[in-house]
Amino acid sequence: MNEYDSSRILDLLKKSDYEKTENAENADCYLINTCHIREKATEKVFHDVGRIKKNYRNKKKPIVLIAGCVAQAEGEIILKNDKYIDAVIGPQSYQELPKVIKGIEEKRSRANFTEFETIEKFDQLKLIKNSNTKISSFLTIQEGCDKFCKFCVVPYTRGPEYSRSFEELIEESKQLIQNGVKEITLLGQNVNAYNSSNKKLSDLIIQLENLKGLERIRYTTSHPNDMTDDLIDVHGTSKKLMPHLHLPLQSGSTKILKSMNRNHSIDHYLKIIQKLKKRKPNIKFSSDFIIAYPGETEEDFNNTLKVLKSVGFINTYSFVFSARPGTPADLLSLIEDNISKKRLQLFQEIAEKIKIDYRQTLIEKKAQVLFENRISENKYFGRDEYLNSVIVQSAYNLVGRNIEIKIKRYNHQTLFGDIIENPSKKNFAA
């Protein structure tokens, strides 16, 4: 979501006659857009500001702005602890940025904008054309969260759930397609909670399906409690919705899920997986896991490993529990560090083995790849239907092409393949 926010911030500032510079050392203003999901995010802010100070030791001080969730959660602390920082702007106050910068330029006055004004933000942004020209683009459709998982800061940094206008999203999607975008990933803290004037995420996907020029649709991040039957059915009927779903689980223990306030069981989660497989037999899954959540026993952890193996996630994102200030889980007793690290290591070893086994099955198999950019001469980067990174060599320009390749080898991060048929000059620009 930060990538989409950063892109729209740039559009907002361009309209106010500000320009992005590729030479950071000569910038007049620095804007650091932040995430607060993991610990030490605030420390990273001060580290980044320290590097700016070092670069400008003998120069005129630039304007330094901290935006995003860290600003929202710890804005007062940031302004108090470092006078070099001029302003903090929360994720729902981006529309104030031109005014903030102008005020600093004129008065050098510091500012704190951390109000939850989601509607006002999107009312302002919809007046500004989305200039993103990437082949694959994010589109925020929903923000905030009402779930209040005990470990999560999102309800406190992004506010309550808010869904953007259905019509507004269709218009922005058309803008992106006109810019050359061929793949849109719909974003939200709980993206499948989207609901605007009785239009759900499934309705939005169906509408986007009809837009000429759009070739792929994805959405993230979902909550199991909002995986409704109508959305599951769309996975079976849509030709443009990719057969890959990121569905965070966090733990394989129903007891721990209840302690987290996730409000669903393991059985409920696995039933969703089975329903999706029935509607879309070739669908694959990725997920998030918190290891060593307070109260997790060896039995709870082993149950997590069982789910990991049974589902066969092609990608997992796992971390030892990190207490976030201000959340209910911050008050809980931590599991011993040596136990936490041992469990995480074991989990990641098994997850990596599953991933390797899956990638091995792809060798000499065909894959449909949308190429996003040229990474070096005759070498192109794209993603397959399952969000796997793919690199191929070609004498022809593949950027923006959605073509079939054959996978030849892989490493931890990337698949490597060959174009099945040599493209002709008629169809491919050199």
How much is the average pLDDT of 82-108?
82
Question: What pLDDT is attached to residue 75?
Answer: 77
Contact call for residues 81 and 102 (beta carbons, < 8 A): no
Bridge pairing between strands 183-187 and 136-140? parallel
Task: Determine if the pTM surpasses 0.85.
Answer: no
User: What is d(CA 285, CA 265) in angstroms, rounded to the nearest whole number?
Assistant: 18
CA atoms within 13 A on the CB side of 349: 6
Cα–Cα distance for residue pair 225/265, rounded to 1 Å: 10
For residue 156 the two structure tokens come to: 């406190």
DSSP H helices in 158-225: 166-178, 201-209
- All domains in the chain, ordered by first residue: 2-115 (3.40.50.12160), 129-242 (3.30.750.210), 366-419 (2.40.50.140)
First to last CA, the chain: 34
- DSSP code at position 60: P
Which DSSP string corresponds to 250-275? B-S-HHHHHHHT----HHHHHHHHHH
Q: How many CA atoms lie within 13 A of 368 on its CB side?
A: 8
Distance CA 370, CA 388 (A): 11
CB 314 within 8 A of CB 284: yes
Instruction: Say how many CA atoms lie within 13 Å of 303 toward its Cβ.
Output: 19
Given a contact cutoff of 8 angstroms between Cβ atoms, the answer to whether 396 and 428 are in contact is yes
Q: pLDDT value at position 429?
A: 47
Q: Return the residue matching tokens 């590729």.
A: 22
Model confidence band, residue 78 (pLDDT cutoffs 50, 70, 90): confident
Sheet holding 183-187, edge to edge: 136-140, 183-187, 216-220
Alpha carbon distance 306, 354 (integer Å)? 12
C-alpha–C-alpha distance, residues 248 and 230, integer Å: 19
Mean pLDDT score of the chain, rounded to an integer? 89
At 17, list the tokens: 């006659």
Question: Of how many residues is the chain composed?
Answer: 430
Q: Judge whether residue 29 has pLDDT over 70.
A: yes
Residue 80 makes CB contacts below 8 A (sequence gap 6+) with: none
pLDDT, tens digit, for every residue of 325-358?
789 999 999 999 999 999 999 999 999 999 999 9
Mean pLDDT of 300-329: 94
Percent pLDDT > 90 in the chain is: 60
Q: Collapse the DSSP code of 311 into the 3-class scheme (helix H, G, I; strand E, B; otherwise coil) and give the result.
A: helix
Higher pLDDT, 278 or 421: 278
**Could you give the C-alpha distances from 318 to 37, 46, 151, 249, in angstroms and in order?**
13, 26, 14, 11
Beta bridge partners of 417: 392, 407
Give pLDDT tens digits for 231-270: 999 999 999 999 999 999 999 999 999 999 999 999 999 9
The pair of structure tokens assigned to 420 is: 């099945």
Q: For 55-71, write each residue's pLDDT tens digit.
A: 888 888 888 898 877 77
Reported as a single tens digit per residue, the pLDDT across 40-60 is: 666 778 888 898 888 888 888
